[in-house]
Structure 1
Amino acid sequence: MRRRWAAAGLVVLLAGCGGLPRSSDVVSGSRVVDDPRTGLLQVIPDGPERGAAPVDVVRGFLLAGAASQDDHAVAREFLTAAAAQTWRADASTTIVTAVPDLSLVSRTSTEAVVAVDATATATLDAGGHYVEDPPGTRVQRRLRLVLQDGQWRLADPGDGTTITGLDASRTLRPFPVYFATGGPAPQLLGDVRWFGYDGSTATRIVRALLEGASPWLAPGVVSGAPRGTHLRVGTVPVAAGTATVDLSDAAKDADPAQRLLLLAQLRASLTELPGVLEVVVTVDGAELSRAGSQGGAGAADLPRTSVPADGRLVLLGPQGLSRWDRQALQPVAGTGPGLELTGGASHPAAAPDADAYAVLTDEGRVVRVQAPGGPLEAAVSGRGTLVPPSVDRFGWVWTAPTAPGQSPLVVPVAAPETPAAVVQAPAEGLGGQLVQARVSRDGVRLLVVVRDDAGAVHVRVHGIVRDSAGRPLRLGPATADLAPGAVDVLDAAWLSGDQLVLLERDAAGRTAPVLAQVSGPSTRLPAVAGAVSVAGGPGERDVVVGTADGQLLTRSGADWIPVAPGRDPAYPG
């Protein structure tokens, strides 16, 4: 797991920031060195030069923002003494395509104003949430400098930092902060945050954990940290492979089950850090437990969310509803006629952990469900056209009417004749007409594609609130738009963790899969002519595209090659 996140931090960001200038001015005034602890690069910036002009001081300050060592100590050298004390470097990070354009607006004998202009690609907030900006987003600010001891220094820098995508790829990494899924059979689910790796990273991870899950996810997950729990001494030191977490006395309010969960969360979150093998947790200085990689007294080992044991694709093939194991197509017994490649059915789905299926029939107006060992029977009908079904790990089939203002519907796989139940939408609604609704394999998140009244498409994720038996009750608030600027999204699926694959169509009609993240940058894969559907497995190489002429394609280098006849592929879930 740790290697996966390290690779994501370096490779995905580089891919997501294509087209960045590679001229030397991007790192002018800075040195870049390898950090053997992380496998990443560290930016070592220069401090201000004596006699530097206002524009040069601002440029140096912006470049130094990529170096978080010692609480951005070098960047603070470009500020006045007062501003250096109050500047909140970690309040936000704006990622821009290149070093901003700078121009001197005004200058007197004691004050100067410098204009900053750049194109932003993403923003990170204080909690490490990574949100992509719509294409063409501009960052324009005016920064005031004053003379201090004969040197120009920034008096009003504004909280946060501004760094280039190139420096972001060198210094930022994604870290999952773990919480437990709601409902039965809890699992640990990573709420991904982006931080620079330095001596404060362990502290930032624990603070994020104690502050709670992201607002959109919080209704669907559980934390073992009692309300008001915080770090007693403000930092999490790491020495000799051990991270020590000293909590305030509010942690004493945790019951035994909460305490075990909190220990599991801390262990899972902190051992993602390179070199952290053991986690010691204390409350007001008294050791609560020791949670190491080999287990420890009182440590709980909740499973982390994982891919289904049966990783075969489900699809509509020449012989009807079928599974594909990358070698051959295998028809699903008992599903009956009418599901052939040329029939009127579409968009099959398979349960993650059982031989249960759902499929759209009757030109998209009926969802039919096959319970394990049973026949394929109508489950949802009479509500107009429906979005493609999705089956969660708790045994519920999801769909929704495509009419505006409608909410998701669920029926149990074990009793498809049961009247469909409505899953309550958040108070602010879903933001438009539902086009797609896909449940994540952990059962806690719902990916939706909606079209608003103006025809624009939006991709968001909602947390799912369930009762103790796993029945879906309502949806929490949404994430930010995960595909800002997308012209159209034809299909969508989960990959693994917080990664998604979207089949986007641009203004010229070209279709291509796009790897997106709930918190993180997106990457566009090579275009696929005639693509109409997409399936996402455990990783990027498991993306399968379905074409309008009934072929399934997988990637081979930069090419897409046909591997089997079929349409509307989907992995379990």
Structure 2
Amino acid sequence: MGADRPENVRRGYARVGAYVACGAVLLTGCASMPDSGDLRGVDSTPRQDTQVRVFAMPPQDNAQPADILSGFLEALTSDDPLYSTARQYLTAAASKTWRPDRSVTVLADGPGTVSDNRDARDAADDLSFHLTGTRVARVDGQDAYAPADGSYTESLHLIRDGRTKQWRIDRLPQGVVMGKSDFQRNYMSVNKYFFASNTAEGASGQAAAVADPVYVRRRVDPLTEMVRSVLGGPTRWLDPVVRTSFPTGTTLQKGVTSLAPDDQNKLTVPLNANAARVGAAKCAEMATQLLFTLRDLTPAVDQVELRSGKRNLCSLGEDRADSVAARGSEQPPDYLYFVDGKDRLVRLPSGGTGTRPDPVPGALGEGDKPLRSVAVARDEHSAAAVSADGRDLYVTSLTSGESLGDPALVSHGASDDDRLTAPSWDARGDLWVADRDTAHPRLLLLEHGTGDPIVVKAPQLDGRVQDVKVAADGVRIALVVVKGDKKSLLIGRIERTAEADEKPAVSVLELRSATPDFEDVTTMSWAGDSRLVVVGREQGGVQTTRYVQVDGSTPEGPAPAALSGVKEITATEDDRLPLVAYSEDGIVRLPSGAQWQKVVSDGTAPVYPG
């Protein structure tokens, strides 16, 4: 638990010479609380320099109940690795049963406190309080973030020790609670990586790497914590569709408490005996998981060596890791595609600055069939296109002389807006599209873009699918879903089951919101291994463009530059390539560190492969 705090009420932290001598910088800060009556929540603290480490002060002798409460809450927002100072505010029995790593509850502001005592001064040796606030999110015991809402109320109980006469907390909720700004100061999101259990990347047969974002304390040895997190396996939501190459029960070797790279940027990871018998291929996958994870965290690690006991299991550098598994953000596309004013599918080199696109080879580059939307396979050898009226879906090769052929799918929706969405290709080369026919709405999958469509089961889907985008890893899907006047962005997990000689059963399960603050989502695209770019509107607001994480959190860093009248947007998992949008100005792009630039004034439907 913790409290967001304004500058003018800081008093619980002190500048202590012993800490300074150890190289730590201490800040002052504490929330002041009266002994009784209704107490106000503490305002948010301005964001502080992430390099400043904050340490709390233990309780002073004869501290009053209000000081015990405020000191304890402040201690939970410090950088004390094991919450040792916070435990000094508890009785011995409470300290033994309290598990701060159980969860983190994030409130809009610091927790307010309400006294349950009519007059605390009349209570001789015990006092009760309630912590209150408005929920924003919860981080569970696996460090997985999930948005939350509603009110928060939990009880705290203090007693005065009969022997020492000191006040201490003897009953409290498990986990910790803090305000949003303290959470942002204390925690950061990092992707850990596993492998898709049912998906290979294209024809190469490479394992597809899947990002699993978690939140860790940013100044409490995050490198070691992320290694432990990878060894501990995927989060519950992702677990059914990924695998880890670490043998069951693998942990750091006994006695290893901290890891650090050497001066050659090599990280040596000593593992317990459970990993001692892994073969070379399996060990390479294990090291790849760690390298992909640590790339997200620090540039100081470019090689991982795994050991068990005295045995060197394997050593792997960044160059070999990319040959072991395919990571979406490491697979830049060759081209950007869009439909020009002549109804042709055209393309531009993805990293260039040109404004003169060329028609793609094949039927889609000839302009004989007016198009509404397109999707290009991730290998850029074939494409799918929806006709201008939304009725027909065509799939064809991007090869000179290739004909368009018959539609692969036909919608019978009554109007243009009740027919097919833009399609999307997954990492297996399968094609996804939604039919918005009000009489028979369906989410559909065409294996390798051909054959009879498979109807995808989505038991939790409440509304009609407006837009579909599959992640590069092939196990997560983003859906814009319309219900009433609200358009929401939901992330689902793709599960496949197959029986001999039968088509696979495909399901999208455990849909969860990635934009809990939005009431209208206009368009979206994957923009990282666990990030999307979204154009939409918050309640009562105007159209805005921002990045969101698949878990519903907001990533650090600036939002994209403002752009009005956005109808469609596209991005790649490789953030070195520009965002591209179709707006009231035509096709525009946003290079890194620049403003939006016009590409052409008469184009629509921009897409990168996928």
TM bracket (short chain) = 0.7 to 0.9
Q: Does 1:443 align with 2:477?
A: no
* Aligned with residue 496 of structure 1, among 520, 528, 531: 528
After the TM superposition, which residues 99-248 of structure 1 pair with which residues of structure 2 at under 5 Å, given as runs?
99-106=110-117, 107=120, 108-134=123-149, 137-148=150-161, 149-181=164-196, 182-183=199-200, 184-198=205-219, 201-231=222-252, 233=254, 236-238=257-259, 241=262, 242-248=267-273
Counterpart for residue 11 of structure 1: none
Query: Which residue pairs with 2:38 in the alignment?
Result: none
Q: Are residue 484 (structure 1) and residue 516 (structure 2) matched?
A: yes
Instruction: Name the aligned partner's letter for residue 588 of structure 2.
Output: L
Q: Are residues 1:79 and 2:79 paired?
A: no
Cross-structure match for 1:380: 409
TM-score by length of 1: 0.81
Superposition deviation, residue 558 in structure 1: 9.4
1:487 counterpart SS class: strand
More displaced 10-residue stretch of structure 1: 438-447 or 286-295: 286-295
Residue 29 of structure 1 pairs with residue 13 of structure 2? yes
CA distance change for structure 1 residues 34 and 432 in 2, over 3 Å: closer, same or farther?
farther
Q: Indicate how the Cα distance of structure 1 residues 549 and 379 shifts in structure 2: closer, same or farther if over 3 A, else same.
A: farther
Aligned-pair CA distance for 1:158 = 1.3
- 1:344-402 residue CA offsets vs partner (Å, 9 max, x unmatched): 63222222222422222142222222213123342211353122101234322211222
After superposition, the Cα gap between the structure-2 partners of 1:396 and 1:277, relative to the gap in structure 1 and judged at 3 Å, is closer
The one of 461, 471, 479 equivalent to 1:430 is 461
Amino acid at match of 2:464: Q
Q: Provide closer, same or farther for how the CA distance between residues 562 and 68 of structure 1 changes in structure 2, counting only shifts above 3 A.
A: same
Query: How far did residue 144 of structure 1 move?
Result: 1.3
Equivalent-residue separation in structure 2 for 1:556 and 1:231 (angstroms): 39
In 2, are the aligned partners of 1:261 and 1:300 still within 8 Å (CA)?
A: no
Report the structure number with the largest CA radius of gyration. Answer: 2
Pairing partner for 2:446 from 411, 415, 423: 411
Aligned equivalent of 1:6: none
Provide the C-alpha distance between the structure 1 equivalents of 2:319 and 2:583, rounded to a whole number of angstroms.
Answer: 48
Secondary structure of the residue aligned to 2:155 is: strand
CA contact (8 A) 1:308 1:352 kept: no
Q: Deviations over 1:75-109 (max 9, x none)?
A: 21222111222211111122334333334332321
Q: Matched residues in 2 for 1:302 and 1:333: separation?
A: 30
State the aligned residue count: 538
What per-residue deviation string (whole Å, max 9, x for no partner) do you get for residues 518-541 of structure 1?
A: 133257656543222111233398
C-alpha separation in 2, matches of 1:29 and 1:542: 45
1:569 alignment partner in structure 2? 606
Residues 108-142 of structure 1: CA distance to partner in whole angstroms, max 9, x if unpaired? 211112232333433211212122335xx433333
Q: Deviations over 1:503-556 (max 9, x none)?
A: 213455732222101133257656543222111233398223322564536479
* TM-score normalised per structure 2: 0.77
Amino acid at match of 2:411: G
| Equivalent position of 2:61 in the other structure | 50
Cα drift, residue 24 of structure 1 = 4.6
* Native 8 Å contact 1:223 1:258 kept in 2: no
* Contact 1:465/1:472, CA 8 A, preserved across alignment: no
1:465-502 deviation line (CA, Å, top 9, x unaligned): 4689xx98524533531111321112111001111011
Deviations 1:12-41 (A, max 9, x none): xxxxxxxx9864547863678499xx9633
Q: Do the aligned partners of 1:29 and 1:46 also contact (CA within 8 Å) in 2?
A: yes
CA contact (8 A) 1:236 1:245 kept: no
Preserved CA contact (<8 Å) 1:482 1:518: yes
CA contact (8 A) 1:291 1:299 kept: no
Question: Of 576, 579, 586, which residue of structure 2 is paired with 1:543?
Answer: 579
Q: Which residue of 2 aligns with 1:390?
A: 424
- Compute the displacement of 1:201 (Å): 3.7
Which structure 2 segments of 5+ residues have no match?
Answer: 16-23, 28-48, 414-418
CA distance in 1, matches of 2:608, 2:323: 31
SS at match of 2:288: helix
Q: Given the alignment, which residue of 337, 344, 348 partners 1:314?
A: 337
* Structure 1 residue 209, shift from structure 2 partner: 2.4
Greater shift after overlay, 531-540 or 196-205?
Answer: 196-205
Matched, 1:353 2:379: yes
In the aligned structure 1, how far is the partner of 2:426 from the partner of 2:301? Answer: 34
- Give a deviation string over 1:184-217, Cα, whole Å, max 9, x none: 3213333121101455545533443234223332
Preserved CA contact (<8 Å) 1:464 1:473: no
Select which of 104, 107, 122 maps to 1:96.
107
Q: State the secondary structure of the residue aligned to 1:306.
A: helix
In structure 1, the residue corresponding to 2:72 is in which secondary structure? Answer: helix
State the Cα RMSD in Å: 3.7
Give unmatched runs, 5+ long, in structure 1.
1-19
5 Å matches for 1:319-358?
319-320=342-343, 321-325=345-349, 326-328=353-355, 329-335=357-363, 345-358=371-384
Assess, with a 3 A threshold, how the Cα gap between structure 1 residues 526 and 265 changes in structure 2: closer, same or farther.
Answer: closer
The 1:40–1:346 alpha-carbon spacing in structure 2 relative to 1, beyond 3 Å, is farther
User: For 2:124 and 2:576, how far apart are their aligned partners in 1?
Assistant: 57
Work out the CA distance in 2 between the residues paired with 1:539 and 1:240: 26
Amino acid at match of 2:582: G
Does structure 2 retain, via aligned residues, the 8 Å contact 1:30–1:63?
no
Secondary structure of 1:195's counterpart equals strand
For 1:420, which of 438, 453, 471 is the aligned residue?
A: 453
Q: What residue identity is the alignment partner of 1:401? A: D
* 1:403-440 Cα distance to aligned partner (Å, 9 max, x none): 57855323355xx55222334x35x4434322221011
From 493, 502, 521, the equivalent of 1:463 is 493
Instruction: Determine the C-alpha separation between the residues in 2 that align with 1:102 and 1:194.
Output: 27
Between 1:363-372 and 1:546-555, the stretch displaced more is: 546-555
Which residue identity is paired with 1:170?
R
Q: Whole-Å Cα distance in 1 between the matches of residues 561 and 6 of structure 2?
A: 23
* Alpha-carbon separation, structure 2, partners of 1:361 and 1:34: 63
Structure 1 residues 152 and 311, CA, compared in 2 at 3 Å: closer, same or farther? Answer: farther
The more displaced of 156-165 and 343-352 is: 343-352
Q: Is the 8 A contact 1:123 1:132 kept in 2?
A: yes
1:64 and 1:475, CA in 2 relative to 1: closer, same or farther beyond 3 A? farther
| Aligned amino acid, residue 124 of structure 2 | S
Residues 480 and 55 from structure 1, CA distance in 2 versus in 1: closer, same or farther, beyond 3 angstroms?
A: farther
Distance 2:183 2:578 in 1: 27
- Cα distance, 1:161 vs. partner? 1.7
| Change in 2 beyond 3 A, CA 1:526/1:151 | farther
Residue number among 63, 70, 78 corresponding to 2:74 in the alignment = 63
Aligned mate of 2:315, from 291, 296, 299 = 291
2:191/2:530 contact within 8 Å kept = no
Q: d(CA) in 1 for partners of 2:354 and 2:575?
A: 19
Are the counterparts in 1 of residues 280 and 313 from structure 2 also a CA contact under 8 Å? Answer: no
Q: Does 1:552 align with 2:573?
A: no
1:255 is displaced (CA, Å) by 6.2
C-alpha displacement at 1:71, in angstroms? 0.8
Q: For residue 68 of structure 2, give the secondary structure of its aligned residue in structure 1.
A: helix
User: Within 5 Å, which residues of 2 pair with 1:8-23?
Assistant: 23=7
- Other-structure match for 1:7: none
